[in-house]
Chain A
């Protein structure tokens, strides 16, 4: 297996992008990444794109061919593959690209992610997202996505004493980070009181505990590490890439307050990288709901099980803390165009490790981690990056 590096990155502004289409966004992100890597179309061996539900959101499938076409690569006949793992589609596209380069089959590969969610009503979007849960045995009985995470939160509160204020602090922190990120959906500070006074969606989760519906696209360019310096002065190495599965339905899990897929993917990625969780300087984790970030920092081994709420309250995961988490603003405040999220996480980590993250820069960041979850935890991907 060959070592793999990122030689270029690009990301569109996230948000309600009524003025642009999926095609516009993927072209914008792709052109940025290709320009950043200073490669030409002829050098690209393959494309992988994460997209959860083009069929439901824009009534368009066959996204693989579409993005090759939009990227101007159709006349070069570059193979292009769309991959899907619900909200982890982007992370999965990155992993497929890593495998293609690591195996030696391809040299220059693009991993992209895109979702255009605001062309349909909020109800239709919510139903499309609910398809990531178990349609027959969760949704049929009235489950929604917030409800599944709310049930994890309720049990976490009961078992470990986690409070609504601690969960709200995740949203407050991530909104603060997003204010320093030009591509973020929200540039607006919020308070714990704002979160707790916002309407309940599924008790104990309020509107401001939930990530929004967003449009956006992101892309990264991968190359074998041995070739990377030919293209980039500051390539970022991918030293761990792992994926794990679990039951589709939340109720079938071993423990409802642990995402075992995260635990397994995390351990595997740390083993590949040969480092311990405490070596990580900056992390992007899957905070689709505020409880999601608390579960993630526990399940990745940054804190002990049950201590995620307290660690958040104590400021451990703030920009000034010992492990800044979601410096981009996370899914919560940077936005969550589902297929693009996993690639945007890699984009943010690359900026941090290059020292190009502006006001939200983590001092001397050497090791970064990205954690992407599909559904309520049926899929998890963990990638570890170093300078």
Chain B
């Protein structure tokens, strides 16, 4: 991984809290934050927005062969999740004993994502876990 401290610190609000942008002109939400709205461009009105973090799995894979930074995690699940506000995001799916499925509802969880060796900085950020609302609703 080629991230270093300043590069990571810049992205802390987005990585810790899923902070993005909302364009009040076209009402589209963006994650990560954008400086330009691709719909309205210079005519945009962008405001900061923190996502709820809940979303739906659009597609996924299980990775068996990873880069050196992630080798210790294999096999792990990676998915593209559509957040409830609209934008899509790539993230790992954790604690899913029932397996990962397209259409599964997920919620954000705060996790270690990597570290720069034993003495380097630790990268924290968001992974996703199954949302229990569906199974709870079914039981009732």
Contact A138 B59 (CB under 8 A): no
Q: Mark B58-96, 1 if CB is under 8 A from A, else 0.
A: 111111111110100100101110000001111110000
Contact B70 A142 (CB under 8 A): yes
Task: Point out the residue from A137, A140, A147, A252 that lies within 8 Å of B1, measured CB to CB.
Answer: A140
Known contacts A140-B1, A201-B63, A252-B88; 6 additional CB pairs below 8 A are A136-B11, A137-B89, A137-B90, A140-B3, A144-B67, A154-B60
Residue in chain A with minimal CB distance to B76: A142
Q: Is B113 an interface residue (CB 8 A)?
A: yes
What are 14 A-B residue pairs whose CB atoms fall within 8 Å in the complex? A127-B68, A142-B63, A142-B113, A146-B63, A150-B61, A151-B78, A151-B80, A152-B59, A154-B59, A155-B58, A201-B64, A203-B64, A256-B58, A256-B80
In the complex, which range does the number of interface residues on chain A fall in? 35 or more
Contact A137 B32 (CB under 8 A): yes
Contact B32 A154 (CB under 8 A): no
Contact B67 A123 (CB under 8 A): yes
Count, chain B residues at interface, CB 8 A: 35
Question: Roughly how many angstroms separate A158 CA and B125 CA in the complex, as a whole number?
Answer: 30
Residue in chain A with minimal CB distance to B32: A137
Question: Roughly how many angstroms separate A271 CA and B3 CA in the complex, as a whole number?
Answer: 43
Query: Chain B residues in contact with chain A, CB under 8 A?
Result: 1-3, 11, 15, 32, 58-68, 70, 73, 76, 78-80, 87-92, 102, 113-114, 123, 125, 127
Please give the distance in Å from A232's CB to the nearest CB on chain B: 45
Contact B113 A141 (CB under 8 A): yes
Q: Is A227 an interface residue (CB 8 A)?
A: no
Q: Is A120 an interface residue (CB 8 A)?
A: no
Residues of A within 8 A of B78 (CB): 141-143, 147, 151, 202
Contact A256 B113 (CB under 8 A): no
Contact B90 A144 (CB under 8 A): no
Interface of chain B, helix or strand or loop or mixed? strand
Question: Roughly how many angstroms separate A251 CA and B11 CA in the complex, as a whole number?
Answer: 18
Please give the distance in Å from B42's CB to the nearest CB on chain A: 19
Contact B66 A142 (CB under 8 A): yes
Please give the distance in Å from B53's CB to the nearest CB on chain A: 14
Q: Is A188 an interface residue (CB 8 A)?
A: no
Q: Is A130 an interface residue (CB 8 A)?
A: yes
Please give the distance in Å from B7's CB to the nearest CB on chain A: 8
Q: Is A358 an interface residue (CB 8 A)?
A: no
Residue in chain B with minimal CB distance to A158: B102
Q: Which of A105-146 contact B (CB under 8 A)?
A: 123, 126-127, 130-131, 135-144, 146
Question: Roughly how many angstroms separate A249 CA and B88 CA in the complex, as a whole number?
Answer: 10
Contact B61 A147 (CB under 8 A): yes
Task: Point out the residue from A127, A152, A252 that lies within 8 Å of B67, measured CB to CB.
Answer: A127
Please give the distance in Å from A58's CB to the nearest CB on chain B: 18
Residues of A within 8 A of B60 (CB): 151, 154
Q: Is A250 an interface residue (CB 8 A)?
A: yes
Residues of B within 8 A of A322 (CB): none
- The 4 A-B pairs with the shortest beta carbon distances in the complex, nearest first, are A150-B61, A155-B59, A251-B88, A203-B62
Please give the distance in Å from B35's CB to the nearest CB on chain A: 14
Question: Roughly how many angstroms separate A155 CA and B80 CA in the complex, as a whole number?
Answer: 11
Residues of A within 8 A of B89 (CB): 137, 251
Q: Is A275 an interface residue (CB 8 A)?
A: no
Q: Is A79 an interface residue (CB 8 A)?
A: no
Residues of A within 8 A of B3 (CB): 140
Residues of A within 8 A of B58 (CB): 155, 256
Please give the distance in Å from A130's CB to the nearest CB on chain B: 6
Residue in chain A with minimal CB distance to B89: A251
Contact B90 A202 (CB under 8 A): no
Contact B59 A202 (CB under 8 A): no
Contact B73 A202 (CB under 8 A): no
Question: Roughly how many angstroms separate A277 CA and B125 CA in the complex, as a whole number?
Answer: 46
Residue in chain B with minimal CB distance to A203: B62
Contact A147 B67 (CB under 8 A): no
Please give the distance in Å from A153's CB to the nearest CB on chain B: 8
Residue in chain B with minimal CB distance to A154: B59
